[in-house]
Amino acid sequence: MRLPKLVTFSTTTNHPLPNPRYLEVHATCAKVCYYSGAGAYVNEIAQELKESPFLASDGTSYEILKFALDNAILAF
């Protein structure tokens, strides 16, 4: 599926439109995440978190715990 290169935002409410500069920065970060493989890595950790309700006692599940805590903080 091909997406348009230009998207026009509009609103019928009094809410402000997104700042184009912030959207540009977000798009750049998303590209870096995608091309570096970081997005796949984060998805892998999230899947492990869903599948395993327990943490390893030897500390090998550190990344899963860190991911869960980081996302819990961001959710607030």
- Whether this prediction's pTM lies above 0.85 is answered by no
Q: If DSSP states are collapsed to H, E and C, what string results for the chain?
A: CCCCCCCCCCCCCCCCCCCHHHHHHHHHHHHHHHHHCHHHHHHHHHHHHHHCCCCCCCCCCHHHHHHHHHHHHHCC
Q: Which residue bears the tokens 């999230």?
A: 46
Which tens digit of pLDDT belongs to each residue from 4-54?
Answer: 888 888 989 999 999 999 999 999 998 998 899 888 887 887 787 778 777
Residue ranges covered by each domain of the chain = 20-74
